[in-house]
Structure 1
């Protein structure tokens, strides 16, 4: 764990303890520490009520943000690190399969742990009191199992997001799903329809980069079909097999892994894959940039492998920020060997350092064309034509040669 994060987390416990309250690290920070994985943040559970937590830290001089008072959560800034502090609680009925109707604050750490999703996420730790494990979380960590606390059918009925979280943890941690948990997951799969697009997108992006994702996909693709029935990867046994094979050889990088859902097959032609990628990224409310990036990878998935400097230069121009991920996808599709991929990457780096790939690198600009008498409406198109001619080795990237080329290409003003 990062020393600064650890120090902030321990300071949080100390402040609450010195004020007379119980406090423990809980959840992912404890789980990942025991697994030897990087810890991204620290969450604290405490017997202090939210108002008491606020007073405790403000008296100690730490900024406090009331981020979720209804559910007992405040965020404390310690050494510029946000620590979420939540009061021990138990949850009432979940009417919308997502959020509890109300919460009841309690003095019992056991009750607080009992409301959580999986055994491995209900582990608590204190530097003086050690580990609290009420639901065999350590055993499940050792056995590499994702198991719900209590009745898994009830757990998924309470919060449908737990279905995707179960798959995500199995994928990222390399764990198997407990039999009862998996049976309940499939029984309750229709509940996924209540989830927001943002929540689904967040879980999907984390899920697909897990080292065990290929197996999770192969064994649970019916779950995805509830959310995305038109996904190209799910349209036929052939499409499922191709997606699985490609996932297996694709590095755990978000964009190439997501592109594996949109692979061209006999049943899913490229135009269908592009159309579905557009629909999918819109459905999950991807940013415009992320949408563009994924569509580019899908569109260029079967682009001819560059065989010379010109074709490589043109492809880099088309995929300026995604060329490396295109290479990763090509390797996953078995269209490139590691040696061929390494050669293309080295060649692309040399081209980026020496060749003209953008309008900014062109030896002429709009002002030059205006000075040469080019009609303003033609300038943008003429610059693009000039750039293409340079990239295709038709002319050198030299001002005089480019101006001669422009003079040949420009249209008489009366033809506009």
Structure 2
């Protein structure tokens, strides 16, 4: 690892090292060309942010950001002189984008941020002369480091040590950072989940006390950060460790905290149960057996469904005459409430549709019987729906839901996995579970002499019921013979 040292010598040094690297990670050639162009014009420039953080972690690095001592106009002139295309992507905040081929490098001027009147963006920015001033305005220490292939690593706030300690810590006074930009609170949680770090105690305390500030942030931005948290597969940790900020992001989670389910089937309150279901769902979605593999992101529909599957339980709670709790209708009401929440957070319509389907049917009783499984598959069939994927996710959420209950319920996992395997066999055997998967079509019926009209649909539904019930194979001639048309 390079020395954490920066000596300002006035003139910018030339870059002569062949393929310089940070912690064994080579600097991208295009980023080095941008540095050469800027410093060839007498400016000072550094690689900053996520690339530096990930290189120090030995993790794959992607986008490269550079900060520079010049104005955006000076940076633009220097880059154009070396043949770069320049996009004025954020000149209000001193930012441009250098483009060469398919590669894009963000270049931003050193700056001081003015007052944050909207809790999200500075009202104004001022040009700074020193890179240290620019690093001081950043959110977390692990993102407040700069690196240069000649000058080495500049780490004013011990970000490298926080990486070693696996800790997310605010730069400077945490409350001030969050008052400047309330979305940083969710970013802290997202980074902690993504990197499998913890939030430093003082920063975590500020998360709790500043959580109400999140109300000022646009809901679509909150939704984007929540989606990022869910995509890590560790959102269950986020709920358990940082409940105040998670409930500020989704206020409907608040009534779930501490809500005693009064049920022998549940060892946890509603909120803690949701957290545990999220944890198991994340593990299942990333597993090589049930999901896409550890390198892929978890299914968004599964993770949103896990987060919101019991959101309506407090509103549906009743006690019987023995003092036992029940939540009749909570899946259906939960699907409606989830749709409202996800629409508010600007979730993609397909993710919202699929998640609400999973929520609606997550508690439906199922048996390892061919006809019952085919009927459930029919619930997840229709235009645009990926039935095999959704059935797999239904079993994932059922398994996660089971493992989030009392240990006496764990036996049901074997039944779930047996049903999962049966569904795979039904799909492989081309069994019909919807009119669209029948080996018989409306055109076949018309060719057999049936007049076009409502009777076509009625006959297809009758054929589907018959093959689902095992009365006739899903074969065209057999179905026509059964219908006797």
Compute the TM-score of the two structures, normalised by the length of structure 1: 0.88
Counterpart CA distance in 2 for 1:384 and 1:288 is 29
Counterpart CA distance in 2 for 1:328 and 1:302 is 12
Equivalence for 1:307: 368
After superposition, the C-alpha distances for 1:106-160 in whole angstroms (9 at most, x for unaligned) are 2210111111111111111122221111111112112222111112111111111
CA, structure 1 residues 346+38, in 2 after alignment: closer, same or farther (shift >3 Å)?
A: farther
Counterpart mapping for 1:276-315 below 5 A: 276-315=337-376
CA, structure 1 residues 377+120, in 2 after alignment: closer, same or farther (shift >3 Å)?
A: same
Counterpart CA distance in 1 for 2:58 and 2:370 is 45
CA, structure 1 residues 57+344, in 2 after alignment: closer, same or farther (shift >3 Å)?
A: farther
Equivalence for 2:308: 262
Equivalence for 2:82: 60
Which residue, out of 215, 229, 238, partners 2:237?
215
Equivalence for 1:28: 50
After superposition, the C-alpha distances for 1:376-404 in whole angstroms (9 at most, x for unaligned) are 23434543443343333232223233334
Equivalence for 1:236: 259
Bigger CA drift: 377-386 or 115-124? 377-386
Aligned residues: 408
Bigger CA drift: 155-164 or 202-211? 202-211
Equivalence for 1:77: 99
Equivalence for 2:248: 226
Which residue, out of 315, 330, 348, partners 2:423?
348
Q: Is 1:90 aligned to 2:112, yes or no?
A: yes
Counterpart CA distance in 1 for 2:247 and 2:196 is 22
Counterpart CA distance in 1 for 2:118 and 2:423 is 52
Q: Is the 8 A contact 1:5 1:42 kept in 2?
A: no
Counterpart CA distance in 2 for 1:34 and 1:381 is 65
Equivalence for 1:331: 399
CA, structure 1 residues 382+10, in 2 after alignment: closer, same or farther (shift >3 Å)?
A: farther
Secondary structure, in 3 states, of the residue corresponding to 1:8? helix
Equivalence for 1:414: none
Secondary structure, in 3 states, of the residue corresponding to 1:45? strand
Equivalence for 2:474: 397
Equivalence for 1:412: none
Bigger CA drift: 38-47 or 95-104? 38-47
Which residue, out of 276, 286, 289, partners 1:245?
276
Q: Is 1:193 aligned to 2:193, yes or no?
A: no
1:77 Cα deviation (Å)? 2.3
Q: Is 1:148 aligned to 2:225, yes or no?
A: no
Counterpart CA distance in 2 for 1:392 and 1:37 is 53
Equivalence for 1:41: 63
Q: Is the 8 A contact 2:331 2:361 kept in 1?
A: no
Comparing both structures, which one devotes a greater share of its residues to helix?
Answer: 1
Equivalence for 1:175: 197
Counterpart CA distance in 1 for 2:124 and 2:197 is 33
Counterpart CA distance in 2 for 1:270 and 1:5 is 51
After superposition, the C-alpha distances for 1:4-62 in whole angstroms (9 at most, x for unaligned) are 98333333323323333222221112112212233232212122322222233333333
Bigger CA drift: 375-384 or 72-81? 375-384
Q: Is the 8 A contact 2:439 2:474 kept in 1?
A: yes
Q: Is 1:387 aligned to 2:464, yes or no?
A: yes
Secondary structure, in 3 states, of the residue corresponding to 1:120? helix
Counterpart mapping for 1:81-160 below 5 A: 81-160=103-182
Q: Is the 8 A contact 1:256 1:297 kept in 2?
A: yes
Q: Is the 8 A contact 2:257 2:272 kept in 1?
A: no
Q: Is the 8 A contact 1:90 1:103 kept in 2?
A: yes
Compute the TM-score of the two structures, normalised by the length of structure 2: 0.76
Q: Is the 8 A contact 2:47 2:64 kept in 1?
A: yes
1:92 Cα deviation (Å)? 0.5
Q: Which runs of 5+ in 1 are unaligned?
A: 409-416
